[in-house]
A and B are shown apart, each in its own frame.
Chain A
Amino acid sequence: QKEVEQDPGPLSVPEGAIVSLNCTYSNSAFQYFMWYRQYSRKGPELLMYTYSSGNKEDGRFTAQVDKSSKYISLFIRDSQPSDSATYLCAMGSSASKIIFGSGTRLSIRP
C-alpha cells in the first residue's frame, strides 16, 4: 500500500463547477499537508499549506484536513479554464521527507 493515495483522474468538469480533489494517507505521523498545482511542462507550484485538521481558505481554494480519517481535500469554487492542471497532494512530518501523491489531472471545460 502506498503511503499516499490519489486518484489520477482525469477529471473533467464544466466552467463554474465546484471541484473536489482528494488524497488518503496511511502514516498517522504526517503533520503538515500541501497541495501543489502543476501546469503542463512546468514544475509544481505550492498552492495551499495546512498544519492542522480543519479548513483553510484562500480565495477560490479551500484545503481541508481530517486527521482522524487520514483524508485531505482541495476544493475549487467557481472553477475556471485556467485551473486546468495536475494537482498533487503532499504531506510530511519533522521526522520524514515529504511524500507526494501521484497527482490528479483536472480539465475545466469552457
Chain B
Amino acid sequence: GAGVSQSPSNKVTEKGKDVELRCDPISGHTALYWYRQSLGQGLEFLIYFQGNSAPDKSGLPSDRFSAERTGGSVSTLTIQRTQQEDSAVYLCASSSQETQYFGPGTRLLVL
C-alpha cells in the first residue's frame, strides 16, 4: 500500500511569492500533521488535523502560514509572501491511532 506522499519534493521560490505544498496521507488515516525541520534541527510542529474537529493551529509561526484539509484526506499547506527564513523541509505525517507515518518532505528554498 502507498505511504504518505508529498509534492513537490523540492521547491525553489523567490522571496515574496506564495507557495503551496501538498500532502496525500495514507488512506483511512484520520489524523494529519504538518512539521517544519530546518537543517540539522528537530521537528517543529505546525498544525494538526483530527477528523472533523477544528484543527490545532498552535504551531503556525505567523499568519502567512495556513493549511486546509479537504474531505478529510489531502492537505495543503500555504505560505504567503515567503521569506528566506521559511527555507526548510516541510514534513507531513498521518496516523490512524497513535503512531505517525511520515512523508518524504518538501524541501523549500526561498531565495
Known: A97-B48, A98-B33, A103-B42. A32 touches B98 (CB 8 A): yes
In the complex, the answer to whether B102 meets A44 with C-beta atoms within 8 Å is yes
Q: State which size class the interface on A falls in.
A: 20 to 34
| Best-surrounded residue of A43, A51, A92 (most CB of chain B within 10 A) | A43
Choice from A46, A51, A97, A99 contacting B101 with Cβ under 8 Å? A46
Q: List B contacts of A97 (CB < 8 A).
A: 33, 45, 48, 56
Known: A43-B102, A43-B104, A98-B100. A88 touches B45 (CB 8 A): no
Assess whether A71 is interfacial by the CB under 8 Å rule.
no
Binding site for B on A (CB under 8 A): 6, 8, 32, 34, 36, 42-46, 49, 51, 88, 90, 92, 97-103, 105
| Given A34-B100, A88-B43, 10 more pairs with CB closer than 8 A | A42-B104, A42-B105, A43-B93, A43-B103, A43-B105, A46-B100, A49-B99, A98-B98, A98-B100, A102-B42
